[in-house]
Amino acid sequence: MRVLLKKVNAYKSILTHFNMSKYLIGHITNTHGIRGEVKIYNLSDFNRFFVGAVIYVDLKTGKKEFEVERVRPQGNLLIVKFKGYDNINDILMYKGLDVYSDQDVSDELEEDDYHYMTLIGKPCVDDKGALLGHVKSMIPVPQGHLLEVTTLQGKDAMVPFNKVFVKDVLEDKIILTPIEGLL
C-alpha cells in the first residue's frame, strides 16, 4: 500500500483542513535570489511543477494563479520562477503560503495507492464493523506510512499502513486488523 502525497509533521494541520476541490501540492518557504524565484517544499509525488503548469495560492481576496516559467531542484526543495514575476519585491508577499492545483490525478493511481486527502477523516473499523476511531493524519516513516488514528477514547494511536494491519480501504471506511495493545 502506498500513499501518494508527501507530508512532514510540520504540515499535519494543513492536511486536516484540506478542501477536496483543490489539491495541496507545496508550500512557498522563501524567496531565492533577487530575480523573482521562490523556494517551494514539494508535497506531491506527481510532477505538478513543470514549465507551463498553472498553480495557485489562496489569498484573502481570492485565488491568485501563477504559470511556471522555470523550475529546478535544490536539495529537498524546488526553485520555481513564475511568469511575469521578475523581481524579489513582486514575489515576497507570497512567502509562507501554500500552493495548490486544480488538476485531479486520481486516474493515475494504481491499485492500493491512495492520496492522503482521501484517507484523513475516514472512520476505522474492525473486521466486525465496530468503530475504532478516525484517521487524524498520515505520518511518513522510513518503512512506509503510519495512520494516526484518534480512538473513541480520544487517544492517538499509530497504525502501520500495510496489509498486516490495514485489511482494506473502502470508499467510506478503513478496515483494520486490531491487535491487542495497538488501539
pLDDT of residue 16: 36
Total-model pTM: 0.56
The residue that leads in pLDDT, 168 or 112, is 168
CATH of the structural domain 22-101, one choice from 2.40.30.60, 3.30.70.260, 3.30.1330.10, 2.40.480.10: 2.40.30.60
pLDDT of residue 181: 79
Residues 177, 128 contacting (CB under 8 angstroms): no
Rounded distance between C-alpha atoms, residue 69 and residue 59, angstroms:
21
Alpha carbons within 13 angstroms on the beta-carbon side of residue 167 total: 13
Strands 77-82 and 98-101: unpaired
Backbone phi and psi for residue 11, each to the nearest 5 degrees, phi listed first? -105, 15
pLDDT of residue 21: 63
Residues 84, 70 contacting (CB under 8 angstroms): no
Count of H helices and E strands in the chain? Answer: 3, 14
Beta strand segments in the chain, E: 2-3, 23-32, 37-42, 54-59, 62-74, 77-82, 98-101, 113-114, 123-125, 131-141, 144-151, 156-160, 166-169, 174-176
CB-based contacts of 16, cutoff 8 Å, min separation 6: 120, 121, 136, 137
- Any idea how long the chain is? 183
> Which single residue is written with the C-alpha cell 484523513?
120
pLDDT of residue 2: 52
Question: Is the pLDDT score of 48 beyond 80?
Answer: no
pLDDT of residue 168: 93
Identify the CATH class of 113-176. Answer: mainly beta
Same topology between domain 22-101 and domain 113-176: no
- List the chain domain ranges: 22-101, 113-176
CB-based contacts of 104, cutoff 8 Å, min separation 6: 23
